[in-house]
Chain A
Amino acid sequence: MKKDIILCGVGGQGILSIATIIGEAATRAGLNLKQAEVHGMSQRGGDVQSNLRLSTEEIYSDLIPLGRTDVVISMEPMEALRYLPYLAADGTVVTSSKPFINIPNYPDESALNAELDALPSAVRLDIESVAKDCGNARGANMVLLGMAAPYIGILSVDQIREAIAVVFARKGQEIVDANLKAFDEGVKASKN
């Protein structure tokens, strides 16, 4: 069994902490893992992505082939669309619905949403509002991870939840609880 995941967004939105948590969960579950990250110039407000591959078998390529991604997890709706050529026929897009506009030629929002909605499987949510509502404005990425968790499959929602506690443990119980709450809200929204 394997799952190929693309994490994406804009430099500085915190996709690497999502990767760290899934990586931790996968390691604890004894899965093989490869995670290709983007460092350097694009981290300055440009588009960023990380290829995350989880498998019970040996993984060779650090990069996911075209048409093979099971889940695209995006902190930004237009960035989710950037990776459509990588999406598998039965793949899912899980994305924040709120545009991050730092370019003059950002596409029309309704057209962009229509394109997302036309996909066989896509979920979008205003993760920033959800994070704010549960008192953790900086936890939008945890809301997104919660939304995506049921689609990851090779790991259970609980396994990912446990990994959040492990990764944030050194920052104190308060931070752990706030992130778990944001995650739970994301899971709830995903099921609805």
Chain B
Amino acid sequence: MAKKLLLGDEAIALGAIDAGLSGVYAYPGTPSTEITEFIQNNKLARERGIHSRWSTNEKTAMEAALGMSYSGKRALVCMKHVGMNVCADAFVNSAITGVNGGLVVLAADDPSMHSSQNEQDSRFYAKFAMVPIFEPSNQQEAYDMVGAAFELSESLKVPVVMRVVTRLAHSRAAVTVGEARDENPLNVSRDSWVLLPGIARRKYVELLGKQDAMGEAAETSVFNRIEKAEKPSVGIIACGIGYNYVKEAAGNQFDIVKVSQYPIPAEKIKELASRNDSIMVVEDGQPVVEEQVRGLLGAGYPLCGRLTGDLPRTGELTPDCVAKALGLPGGPVFEPAKNLAARPPQFCQGCGHRDVYTALNQVLATYPDYRVFGDIGCYTLGALPPFRALSSCVDMGASITMAKGAADAGFFPSVAVIGDSTFTHSGMTGLLDAVNENSNIVVVISDNLTTGMTGGQDSAGTNRYEAICVGIGVDPAHVRVVVPLPKNMEEITRVIREEIEYNGVSVIIPRRECMQTLQRHLREAKKNAK
């Protein structure tokens, strides 16, 4: 038994390796990225040849993991919360097919949207698919739970969701780690996973039949417990890291049902309700449990939480909002400073995206009206001053299809800006739609040869973007490559102008390496030269 100082993400990664993982499948996304990176760099994982290469998107990741599970081995899929939307089709149906080797789907939620465009709660997805959830309250549980999740997945033959939030994913603490279990042997499923209606109906009934066992597992889980106070008053249901804030603020003052495994442990919650006059639900994210407990206890039982406004409806929980909701003292001593300005993130010095926006703005300013539809990545910062270049950023790939829709509506000029990694993630299919209708759009694939926003992971299509676009059907004469540097501004603006004036699908690929990865590569080269 060794102790290691680990990020929540790293604890999950090591927990998975030690649980006999055979493959992690993921697309980078804050706050989940470090899980896969840890496995990529782990010695044992390398020795065992555990699959850890990045997938093109969350859907391909989920499906490949399901294939590994089908073959009897343990697979982990990791993503940020919005990745659940991308893989939802595969995920929801994996509950119907069931699994063979253990399958854990790790969703890292981002309440407060530190690095995201919404704060959707992945527990809804698990409930929708009718599968169990594990939600660790600390790094040790994160490590321990991965193994428990694989065990449960294999015993009930269902995928299991593990849900974390940013504050656990990116917080470090000491974790006691155990011995590494062997990987499962290859043992390909002999069941039919063909979800034709006749089979799917039978399998759906099977899934429904497992619900009681899932409930029983949560009721007896070592991760769920009732803590009894000397004088019960308000009972608290504390989910995931919500438990920490309750303990920080109130110690042993209240009865607590700690919930870290779902479905909600109904018997424990009923006991809590009978011992106390009212219940408060403390959960990070959306009021998933509060709604369910309302149903469990009925409209007459005094219940509060995020829905009642006792805790804020939006944003992550903090020790402060929890203490306030519990009526406990605390708060600031000093007033907020007067001489303080916001410091938003910005493009790195020398970043090629800067030159792309400078050129775009210069050309587009000569048109009476124009729109640039943006996408997800570092280049979304082009929406902020000084560029103010973007009108939209919705989801991975939406730049191309929204530009197409605007062009369909008759708007001109309609421009899309998308990064290289985002393009292969979800932009290619939209480009095919545009090609099939010869839509009058300009697609700028700002290619920095990496997945930059999340710290420089491999990008799935590097060195193949022209070939991909031509293969999809874009006229090779309108696939233009430029080098985004200030000295090339004349050429870049000329190319942009020509392609805007061309009536059809154009792709412009400004290509120059990300400053972050360039500096890393230079450091490595210097080190190797020594």
Contact = CB atoms under 8 A, between A and B. Distances in A.
Nearest to A105: B341
B344 interface: yes
A60 B31 contact: no
A107 B342 CA distance: 10
Nearest to A46: B345
A34 B137 CA distance: 13
A132 interface: no
A62 B171 contact: yes
B343 A46 contact: yes
B333 interface: yes
B248 to A, nearest CB: 4
Interface stretch (A37-45, A135-143, A182-190): A37-45
Contacts of B208: none
B330 interface: yes
Nearest to A81: B337
Nearest to A41: B115
Interface residues of B, number: 51
Given A42-B115, A46-B346, A63-B318, 20 more contacts: A10-B343, A32-B174, A36-B171, A37-B7, A37-B170, A39-B170, A39-B455, A44-B347, A61-B244, A62-B171, A64-B319, A65-B249, A65-B318, A66-B330, A78-B341, A82-B340, A84-B332, A84-B334, A107-B339, A115-B338
B172 interface: yes
Interface residues of A, number: 50
Interface of A: 10-11, 23, 27, 32-47, 59-68, 78-79, 81-82, 84-89, 102-103, 105-108, 111-112, 115, 119
B66 to A, nearest CB: 28
B485 interface: no
B5 interface: yes
Given A35-B172, A65-B248, A44 B381 contact: yes
A107 B340 contact: yes
Contacts of A84: 332, 334-337
A62 B455 CA distance: 23
B171 A85 contact: no
Contacts of A39: 30-31, 33-34, 115, 170, 455
A66 B336 CA distance: 11
Nearest to A39: B170
Contacts of B381: 44
A167 to B, nearest CB: 12
9 contacts: A40-B453, A44-B347, A46-B346, A62-B171, A65-B330, A85-B332, A85-B335, A103-B342, A106-B341
A64 B173 CA distance: 15
Contacts of A27: 3, 5, 174
B245 interface: yes
B170 A45 contact: no
Contacts of A10: 343
Nearest to A24: B5
A105 B381 CA distance: 18
A37 B31 CA distance: 11
* Most chain B CB atoms below 10 A, which of A44, A79, A84: A44
B173 A34 contact: yes
Contacts of A102: 343, 346
A10 B336 CA distance: 19
Nearest to A115: B339
B24 interface: no
A36 B345 contact: no
A108 B339 contact: yes
B234 interface: no
Contact of B174 (A11, A33, A43, A66): A33
B333 A87 contact: yes
B173 A33 contact: yes
B334 A61 contact: no
A34 B171 contact: yes
A42 B345 contact: yes
